[in-house]
Chain A
Amino acid sequence: MNLILVLIGGLMLTAAAVAMSLRNIIHSALLLIGSWLGVSFFYLWAGAEFVAFAQVLVYVGAVSMVVLFAVLLTRRDRQDVVVAPETRTRAISALLVGGSVAGLLVSAVLGTPLATGPAETPTLTVKDLGTLLAGPQAAGLLIAGVILTVALLGAVVLAATDSGKEDAS
């Protein structure tokens, strides 16, 4: 059982590490998607199949498209897709930002009291999850939905600035 966990973890981390070291940004993006797929394998291993499939649906299906479209639409030509080796300032700023995010995450993990010892495996069906989401957790779900809608509207506003010049068809 633990061997599988090690394999999944290895897959995730290797994919992420190789994604960071590659110069070709599309390859990096595809490897990042592989890493997300690894996360969903981890959820499957842990018995949370609903979360695993949602992870595939959202990350591999939707977020990956956003990443790939962003890469393709912001680069002028294919040669530009290959990023030049970083300068010192870029390395320093990357280290700063990455380090602060990592510090935040690690401190959050360390600061959370985690129950250790053998825990009971909860037997949650999708139906239970649905009732939970639509009942006690409905507020959180709605807030997340509103935030996403606002983000979507913002994206539309940003993207639609220069469409006034073209004749509406």
Chain B
Amino acid sequence: MFRLVRTEMYKQLRRPRTWVALGFVILVPIIITIALKANPPTLTDGRGGGGGGGHDGGPRFFYLAAQSGLLVPIATLRVMSEFFLVVIFCLFAGDAIASEAGWGNLRFLLTRPIGRGRLLVAKLIVAAAYSVLATALILVSGLIAGGIAFGYHGISVPVLGISMSVSSILGNLLLAGVLAAWGIAGVAAFAFMLSTMMDNSAGAIMGAVGLYIVTSILGAIDSIGPIRYGFPTFYNGAWSNLFTGASFGGDMVRNVVAQIPYVIVFVTIGYWWFRRKDITS
């Protein structure tokens, strides 16, 4: 299994689109930092990037980012996790099997003594690893750029009721990264499932991004009622409450739990489908 995972990691690493995606997540925090440094937001105009998944009244992340470089990655993660990071996750997950099929290489890979289940697990590990890497790069790039621009220190904004030490910010930063990444897991699992069914990765990626957009729109319609709470995207931004003085719990826990059935169901269907599939591409 180790060799198989290693070969799949290398294959993905050498893809130009991987470099574009990873370059993008490195670049965006730097661009945001430059923009904030050149035009420091005030308390009244710093609401960009606020708001939780389906929730109003999130913290003023851009304003906070300009107060401490430690919060630049949070502002960036908040913005990117609403769409771009979702696309990147779907790219890695939707690409897994479908791109091999599209190249015509899947039929050669599967004439090796490799069980289909093993190959699927290896592909899943690689997709997850690159998705986690993309999330980590947002945080690291934001930390470096933010630190250079605004320095590393705790913040205290009494008017917002926010006071956080350096260690508290760093701890919450790590937790926020994990929660933001996991919050996309259900949609990414859908991309992975589609990838086992299609010979074109674009179809799998677009299908999953479509699911994300539709459930996000539906989640914003209050009249739909409690059914929205079961959508994989409804609690996506709940991690931002970590930076309003809240501790881990409530909607953050609901977001973690909400992903589990989606991940299990979509990955299981993908596995079942791939095991039975005739490889004709």
A in complex with B: no
Q: Which residues of B contact A (CB under 8 A)?
A: none
Q: Which residues in A have some Cβ–Cβ distance to B below 8 Å?
A: none
